[in-house]
Amino acid sequence: MIIEGRPGRGGILAVGEALMEFRRSTPDGALATPGEWAGPFPSGAPAIFASVAARLGAPSALTAAVGDDRFGHALLARLEADGVGTGAVRVAPGRATALAFVAYDDEGGRDFWFSVPDSAATDLDASAVERAAAEAGWLHVSGSTVAFGGKLGDAVEASAERVAAAGGRISVDPNLRPDAHPDARARTARLARRAHVLFPSAGELEALGLEESELARTALVCRTAGAAGALVSGAGLDGEVRHVPAPAVTEVDPTGAGDTFAAAFVTRLRDGAEPLAAARFACATAARSVTVLGAMQARVEPGP
């Protein structure tokens, strides 16, 4: 079953997992022991990106799949309320909506568990993916989606081929897991090489065997550094690397901050902002996102 939604021709498309997340309330890093949990919160890197982009006023759509259950319908309701086009979101009969459990310790370390490989999230509708990619002018890719492999990885690469062939733009957040399979690393590296905008965090380009100086010849490279802000280099910056600081905030939940940053940067850049202005806006938006529990729960402000 396909839920009808705003197609957003020429808009921004995110492809991948939509899920419900449970967050450990106490900073003990304990994932598999009894304790207090908060949630469920709508989540999943592509869903977070699409939600933030839509709330910032960009025509945005998501290609994903959820279960025909209460979690799946709650995810759909939230995405639609945010203005995300859900015409390519499949409700998969007989499959459960993907879940995630995330626990942080008091030093910022994280442990997590995803049910994505065994869930509805992998049951995308191939024809809906193709239609959504044909209507998109910008594709955003999260490496977490590529890492899950299967239909999710295939859908990302197929969408990138379609958008690139039509002259659209591609942004990539490597979002590289330490235990990522070599095939996922290779796929992510291929996508990064064709990207117009990249959002790597520390060490990710090196782990993918990529050189920032080479990528920056044709792309904007925005290295995200959490509370330290971002380092921006590449097209339009005359070979310089510019630091953009982040506002000081009290961190409550960093989950999804990178996806929020990417969405804010892309929407502002797409509207014609200079890269450094887009990065300043993205830093401010991502900083607000970490001050509450839940990756999509912070208020989004379009700003000046």
pLDDT digits (tens, 9 = 90+) for 21-55: 999 988 888 888 898 999 999 999 999 999 999 99
Q: What angle do CA 294, 149, 215 make, to 5 degrees?
A: 85
CA distance 300 to 226: 18
pLDDT at 304: 61
CB 85 within 8 A of CB 8: yes
Q: What is the mean pLDDT of residues 284-300?
A: 94
Judged by DSSP in three states, 90 sits in strand
Query: Taking 70 as the threshold, does the pLDDT of residue 1 lie above it?
Result: no
pLDDT at 2: 36
Rounded to two decimals, what is the model's pTM?
0.94
Half-sphere exposure of 22 (CA within 13 A, CB side): 15
Q: How far is CA 107 from CA 29, 203, 255, in A?
A: 9, 19, 15
Q: Which of 41-55, 91-105, 106-120, 141-155 shows the lowest per-residue confidence on average (mean pLDDT)?
A: 106-120
Q: What is the mean pLDDT of residues 85-114?
A: 91
CA distance 187 to 183: 6
